Amino acid sequence: MAVKQRKGSHPGKVQHDAGQAGGDIGSAVTIAINRGFVIGREVLVGRVPGIVVGYNIAGVGRYLGHAYPLVVRTALGVTKCALDEVSLA
């Protein structure tokens, strides 16, 4: 019996061409770095203090790297953030 190939997508998941998404993600991370959001930097997510702990390079899923390039650790946990959601502390 042959394996059936699925071409559909999973609910809630967004799929992009890997080549296209990679360029967008790199640009988003570069913009974040140029704006001062470097690893170890203290930031505010709304009013919640946090620290940038990394960059989101996800090309598939709900929180894509080009839209949410920052990974921030707060007292409430680790989250992926858009640049308009955070400010420098």
In the chain (89 residues long), the average pLDDT of successive 10-residue segments reads 53 48 82 97 97 96 95 97 96
The CATH number of the domain where 30 resides is what? 2.30.30
Task: Give the pLDDT of residue 69.
Answer: 97
Does residue 7 fall inside a structural domain?
A: no
Does residue 5 fall inside a structural domain?
A: no
What's the CA gap between 63 and 61, in Å, rounded? Answer: 6
The token pair that represents 86 in the structure block: 């955070």
CA 51 to chain centre: 15
The structural domain count of the chain equals: 1
Q: Where are the beta strands (DSSP E) in the chain?
A: 42-45, 48-55, 70-74, 77-81, 86-88
Does residue 69 fall inside a structural domain?
A: yes
